[in-house]
A and B are shown apart, each in its own frame.
Chain A
């Protein structure tokens, strides 16, 4: 190891992943807005033949934002936070640098192939695990590469104690590895084709029926946990204290919230299967543990909010702090909303309705999106060694996106509860009051509002992309790295 000379962190891989965060963000969110418009104005579903229908596009949206935008953001911030909190630089090891670069390129190829294969209709149908088996194998390769680089970096660290952010990144790596493998156990059918000229891409699930559903939602729910939650908590534990110059409020609370979350989260998968054909005790367990989950979730969120104690004035002066604080607030909102939906009697109304995408989006747009945007803004002046191009644009982006999110989830709450109540309404003679189509047409105004909300968020995201681009190319050059508050030109 080198002596105490100032460490020069290497941001080449961080920059690559920052680029894909923005690129896949634009692709995934644009498709999201198209989908929202298609539900409000169905003629839009038939503009591009079979490739433009809502049903064909929907997996591209979910995969694009979850595994394109969010994973890129996670990897970008990991290579940044990892080097800094472990006190090592990627350029100290040729091996780790090669692994990290390979990780990026294989990842990039996989996501590109994902877009192509999903467009062509190659899908396993399992939500957030739609990709067919050859792509799944590719994913395993770069996931392992990420693990190698992570543990390699940890092995080279100069800081003996591992910081809380790294705990969370590590948990994502381990948990997703386990979940992904079990849920994607699939058999390529061409090996049993018995002479039939069958497709090489097709596979069927190793598990069947109820078991398959069980494994799917054990995975599906916890993909949310370990892609949309834990690494994002890892981000806020680093970026909020760093940007605000405040110490994390409580070490004990971070330990409690971390191990609590790790223990409880996987139990909650059962709440996706309430009133289905999985055994009752699992449904009840999923429901109960979802409520317990409030504790560790709010533990982290409150720990972050209290970190700002005495420094709330920064909310007025820094749009970057605003992004992170609102992210944490949306995290609290969606982690109280989720448990409410998991209560059996509420779930009876909420399940299968638009309240569910509503819930997903206050979490992903508010919490995940804002935190990744905040993290990238914080990283920009450090990795480009330039001032952030425009504070005013950042502020405008913040407000337009916040309005977008509020429009999104309020309209979906109303739509979901309306639909749920209409499905179960009876008239005085004991007949169902509404035919199914009545419960669809009634949603039109809410679908239109939601599309507007999504559009606002997308416009904000384009502002973000522009601001990042200008920062990298035209921001005022900094002579030394800012310690805390990121410098931004008005």
Chain B
């Protein structure tokens, strides 16, 4: 049952929190964005006293760091582009997966139109990689810097990620003569504060008329071929590292002590 944890650490040296998260959730694949410290340093701390060791796979992604609890030959680089790292992931059991980790530019550095085009670019890169590996057992995870309802995530020529697995299970739809494959976006189910959980992964108050306050920038998207294996109940936003809160007293990500994003985690069944 491969498990995954993604965290945008916002350039903060949060090794201890990462180690605690890893001890608590045991992710087979730990993906970090904006991690500022030497990866080897963190690797040593992650493996201290642990029987199942993490390794640092090859690849040249600048923004995204991977720590894998598998032999390096089971995690193979496919493509690196700015903010996009695509890897083949071969768990001990279950079929090979295509993992697409992303950290797209923030709204401080890109306009809404920029983000739409970047989503198209990402979709092309995923399609190309799926063609090369010959399957669509694809998981996209990371900081999209867009909410699930924004055009880059929803549009047919963008990521085409829908909130309803029955629609996703149709596989694809044809728009203007082009077949556009679906993703399922389970993050829709975590939006809002039901049961007192965090309403999103990132908090940003705006003074203008339209302010969402909470954003779900950190997401996982699943191709329909993996839907049966996706454990919806495992999907979570982590507001604690297991010992210490990653949130301030107001429940928002504590950007001073930790990161301005909360981590997310999920599992796939074997």
- Are A and B genuine complex partners? no
Residues of A within 8 A of B (CB): none
**B residues touching A (Cβ–Cβ < 8 Å)?**
none
